[in-house]
Structure 1
Amino acid sequence: MATAPGDIPKHHPATQSEKLVIAASSLGTVFEWYDFYLYGLLATIITAQFFSGVNETTGFIFALAAFAAGFAVRPFGALVFGRIGDMVGRKNTFLVTMGIMGLSTFVVGLLPSYATAGVAAPIALVVLRLLQGLALGGEYGGAATYVAEHAPNNKRGLYTSFIQTTATFGLFAALLIVIGTRFAVGEEAFASWGWRVPFLISIVLLAVSMWIRLQMSESPVFQKMKAEGKTSKAPLTEAFGTWRNLKVVLVALLGAAMGQGVIFYTSQFYALFFLEKMLRVDGATTNILVAVALLIATPAFVFFGWVSDKIGRKPVLLTGFALSALLYYPLFQAMSHAANPALYEAQQTTPVSVVADPNECSVQFDPVGKNKFDSSSCDIAKAYLAKAGISYGNVAAPAGTIASIHVGGQVLPAVDPARVTGPARADAIKAYGAQVQQALTAAGYPAGAADPARIDRPMLVGILIVLVLLVTMAYGPIAALLVELFPTRIRYTAMSLPYHIGNGWFGGFLPTTAFAMVAATGNIYYGLWYPIVIAAITLVVALLFLPETFRRDIDS
């Protein structure tokens, strides 16, 4: 039964030393996120270094898939380390996850490139990403549980919100070091070898983080439970083998973590990739803009954690889910207008369309990197637009129709591969590309990167701040909510799995999925339907099934 706020029990007085331990826990978690996010920030460069054996579009999607590989194994890390954390303790689990994460990140900086080692290079990279994912799968649940079990019952949202800031501060720290290295060595050197520096620096962060974690004491709630002999002997079976607990796990996933995961990665990572890949803003400018927005908006994590202690976890979460579903499409369109106005204006005033027989059209994504997309006129037309980063619509034509690109009143029939073979086909496709580019230029489409003089930086920062604020509403209260949903004896295990499925699978695969959706349709905004639909589903499930937890006692 809920009690009045003034009657909420406190399992212990919050001492100064415990506050310092909580701060140390948060700082250590920042370093782990720093390690994990470096890869995402450098996806474009890593494409060139490790996936240069495939075409550019496929290489970028493969690089994003390797980024997502670290997320794929996070639920398994949650099971392995969650079990250890519930049986052995929170502190020792921290040390193991930290060591795996730090060493894996350091070794990425030593890996040979594809040009040097061939296919062994991307394989080694994926293996290290998998190790990072396993480590991170055990980190978050432990940190959130540890902090919550130190916090007074009526301040859990506030205390755990500092853990929620660690992912963003880790990203911010990674951005700062990437930006600093870029400016120190120059863009050419950074693309060649300077990208390794942020990975190698992680060995210093590992040493600091390990020292911090060694200073920690075990959670008082866990110590009490262990002294009383109440620790779980089989936390996996107890958490997921009984319907009473399993249904809570499912509600936590479908009514909270799933939506929070896609919001986090859309607002902070997909936005970054979208700026650089779709809107052609240079990497250094993109990093700076995102870093500024993060610096300004990050305190809102703590604010919304504090608010959730006053009015409840659900109202804050539901607001974040609803606003994200409503605002993503207009926000990304506004981002396009601010980042590359010439491209946006051309798309609005002179849209491009491909008229073709749908049965002749392939999805512009090559899983093995060998398809030249020259076997049909539709493929030839779409391949050029995809490579040029031009958004286009699709118009169905009768069977046997030669595909054509329509832009600015011009109709540009594509090369018919049935009539042109051998070396002549390659020459014809090249000439066709030049013809299409001439028509695009005449219609106002910019040929290269976004014009730095026309980028509306204040507007872009404002849009990015709004995107981060959406994250803070969905993410700020969720650690406290997940801790409060489960009993102490299985808390680490039970809360970690739904969190890492929501963030690792639904969130981590978002950039890859969204860009594949764009490649399949030609519409640069089409990938946004993935987070919009997931956020809307989570909103409905939360409204119907998610309990309010902010007045619960978590000692038992």
Structure 2
Amino acid sequence: MNQTTAAPASIIRQVIVASSVGTMIEWYDFYIFGMLAKTISTQFFPEGNATAALLSTLAIFAAGFIVRPFGALVFGRLGDMIGRKYTFLLTLILMGGSTFLIGLVPNYKSIGMAAPLLVLALRLIQGLALGGEYGGAATYVAEYSPANKRGYYTSWIQTTATLGLFVALGVIMLVKLNMTDEQFNAPWGGWRYPFWVSIFLVIVSIYIRMKMEESPIFTKLKKEGKTSSNPLKESFRNKANFKMVLLALFGAVMGQGVIWYTGQFYAQSFLETKCGLEFEQSRTIMLWAIAFATPFFLFFGWLSDRIGRKWIMLTGMFLGVVLYYPIFSTFLKDTDSKEWYKTESKLIQEDRKITPIEGGSIFHRTAHFETPDGSKYTQVFTDTVLINNAGAPRRYFELSNPVLTNKKVNTTTYFKFTFLVWIMIVLVTMVYGPIAAFLVEMFPTKIRYTSMSLPYHIGNGVFGGLVPFIGLLLTTTFPQNPLVGLYYPIGIAALCFVIGSIYLSNKIDKDVTD
């Protein structure tokens, strides 16, 4: 079957806007949970073990990724049977509704274990919805696009995940800007606002999507009675097609997934938890890096229409394998506590607090320092003093090495970190920009939604989505090596590079109407 006549440019622009805005909102909904993981861990889990609570929160965050392949199967089947438009309209409604409801769940002190269980259930709905969204949006845009611009047009969809992260960071920072930490972290405080904002964004996107028509290629297939009656069976019981599903996963998408989450999610988590960088600096570093790197999604999508998709994606994976360790080592070196201690720091503020306990008191001293080069940091000292039977105080415990928190690097280091994060996000654009067109071209129209969605969401939802959780788990298990969390994404990206180099084709399929 020959490629159908391309739609007018004005129609294609409307299709791109409708698909991109909705998909961006779904990513926003999905990522605000991860952005607020530290605060959420204090709300929905019992007090006493902050690390365990954070790990539990990240496990719930990861659960949303793990169910994404199931969403791909459920909604991919619907999309191949009833159409692209209404299927990914349904996913948008499910995502927006579950996100809004997470913001309404009472905390652990109010309803006990029901709190984390409700959040888990809503997070699973989010994961299922996202599993159906991407394949629909990418297929929808690709089936409208002319063959010589398919990589470029679908790359607009690829910007949505990063833009969703950008918007999530921006909304959270705007909320925090007008609140104290106590107000933001209160049980019904500002941390809930980003979840509530979601409902307004979703309503706008639903309005835009309702005005769009179904994909012309799918409409033609449906009129001819050639749609699949069982997309799952045709996708996975057909040996040739199943082979392509496996090749897409292990030769492209699993590597793309770990590059995406390491360069954006794990980088931010590492700067805050392992380097001790203050919240505002770490988030603005991410915002600037994302803003300047995002146009490269479109560039590499455009480039893939001219030289092919394969080697652009594999080059991004290879550079990630080579560069991650030195980049993250630089983050550690430039925020090294031992080096900060050596400087002749100036005390600029000191706060003291006494907490009564049975048989004594806990003395807290928080000291804020500034180094000669303009960097800032906070030391937290804790003393526990007990009263013995004779009524005399005796020191029970003292931190010999006070905890350093809220590090604020100087301007030179700030721009250096921004540049390094920018490099990692450019690698993200290399592997992610061309991949929608690459996946669309691998599978026939009647089972395209199902066949491309499954490897995409296993690669991103499982291999990629687990990067923050596995990274924290490894660094907690092996605290003597703060870079041990990088072994997982580097290993996966290296394996994917080898498989892709050997087995992937660099040929661009001009005809996607079959």
Looking at structure 2, the residues matched to 317 and 451 of structure 1 have their Cα atoms a distance apart, in angstroms, of 35
1:154–1:551 CA contact under 8 A, matched in 2: no
Listed as ranges, the matches of 1:178-257 within 5 Å are 178-192=172-186, 193-257=189-253
Equivalent position amino acid for 2:420 in 1: I
CA contact (8 A) 2:281 2:408 kept: no
Counterpart pick for 2:328 among 304, 329, 332: 332
Distance in 2, Cα, partners of 1:334 & 1:465: 14
The one-character-per-residue Cα deviations of 1:54-95 (angstroms, maximum 9, x if unpaired) are: 511111111111110110110000000000000000001021
Question: 2:447 matched to which residue of 1?
Answer: 490
Kindly state the Cα deviation for residue 346 of structure 1 after the two structures are TM-superposed. Answer: 7.8
The reply to whether residue 282 of structure 1 matches residue 278 of structure 2 is yes
Following TM superposition, by how much is the alpha carbon of 1:11 offset from its aligned partner in structure 2, in angstroms? Answer: 4.0
Q: Does 1:87 align with 2:103?
A: no
User: Please, what TM-score do these two structures have when normalized by structure 1?
Assistant: 0.80
Of 290, 293, 310, the match for 2:289: 293
Report the CA distance between 1:186 and its aligned residue: 2.6
* Aligned-residue offset at 1:453: 4.9
Once the two structures are superposed, what CA deviation does each residue of 1:367-416 show, in whole Å capped at 9, x if it has no partner?
A: xxxxxxxxxxxxxxxxxxxxxxxxxxxxxxxxxxxxxxxxxxxxxxxxxx
1:530 aligns with 2:502: no
Where does residue 357 of structure 1 map in the other structure? none
What residue number does 1:413 align with?
none
Cα distance change, pair 28–335 in 1 and its aligned pair in 2 (3 A): same
Matched, 1:502 2:459: yes
> Which residue pairs with 1:303 in the alignment?
299
Deviation at 1:336, TM superposition (A): 2.2
Tell me the residue number matched to 2:166.
172
Aligned partner of 1:322 in structure 2 is 318
> 2: CA distance between counterparts of 1:19 and 1:290?
29
The answer on whether the counterparts of 1:178 and 1:195 sit within 8 Å (CA) in structure 2 is: yes
CA-CA distance at 1:343 after TM superposition = 5.0
Corresponding position of 1:365: none
Q: 1:548 aligns with which of 487, 506, 514?
A: 506
Aligned residue runs from structure 1 range 442-521, under 5 A = 447-453=404-410, 456-521=413-478
SS in 2 for 1:448: strand
The equivalences for 1:31-430 within 5 A come to: 31-192=25-186, 193-338=189-334, 340-342=335-337
Shift of 1:449: 3.2
Q: CA deviation at 1:38?
A: 0.4
SS in 1 for 2:229: coil
* % identity of equivalent residues: 49
Report SS of the residue matched to 1:182. helix
Residues 450, 550 of structure 1: CA spacing in aligned structure 2 closer, same or farther, 3 A cutoff? same
**CA separation in 2, counterparts of 1:315 and 1:226?**
35
2 CA distance for matches of 1:514 and 1:199?
Answer: 26
CA shift for structure 1 position 344: 6.5
1:455 CA drift (Å): 7.9
Q: CA deviation at 1:448?
A: 3.3
Are 1:11 and 1:153, in contact at CA under 8 Å, matched by a contact in 2?
A: no
Whether the 8 Å contact between 1:341 and 1:454 is mirrored in structure 2 is no
Deviations 1:272-320 (A, max 9, x none): 1111111111222222211111111111000011111110001101100
Q: Is the deviation greater in 12-21 or in 513-522?
A: 12-21
| CA deviation map 1:238-284 (0-9, x unaligned) | 00011111000000000011000111111111111111111111222
TM-score between both structures, scaled by the size of structure 2? 0.86
Give distance in 2, aligned partners of 1:110 and 1:82: 30
- Preserved contact between residue 148 and residue 510 of structure 2 (Cα < 8 Å): no
Return the alpha-carbon distance in structure 2 between the equivalents of residues 186 and 174 of structure 1.
19
Residue 115 of structure 1 aligns to a residue whose secondary structure is helix
CA RMSD of aligned residues (A): 1.9
Post-superposition offset of 1:452: 4.8
1:105 partner amino acid: T
Provide the C-alpha distance between the structure 2 equivalents of 1:479 and 1:451, rounded to a whole number of angstroms: 39
Alpha-carbon shift at residue 342 of structure 1 (Å): 3.3
CA contact (8 A) 1:322 1:535 kept: yes
Q: Structure 2 CA distance, aligned partners of 1:345 and 1:480?
A: 48
CA displacement, residues 470-516 of structure 1 (integer Å, 9 cap, x when unaligned): 10011010100000000001000000000000001111111111111
Larger strand proportion of the pair = 2
- Local SS of the residue matching 1:485: coil
Q: Which moved more, 1:155-164 or 1:42-51?
A: 42-51
Assess if the C-alpha contact under 8 Å between 2:29 and 2:95 holds in 1: yes
Q: Which amino acid aligns with 1:314?
A: K
d(CA) in 2 for partners of 1:499, 1:278: 30
**Which residue in 2 is equivalent to 1:375?**
none
Contact 1:182 1:284 in 2 (8 A): no
Q: Secondary structure at the match of 1:450?
A: strand
Partner amino acid for 1:183?
Answer: L
* Distance in 2 separating the partners of 1:487 and 1:85: 13
Letter in 2 for 1:144: A
Deviation at 1:17, TM superposition (A): 1.9
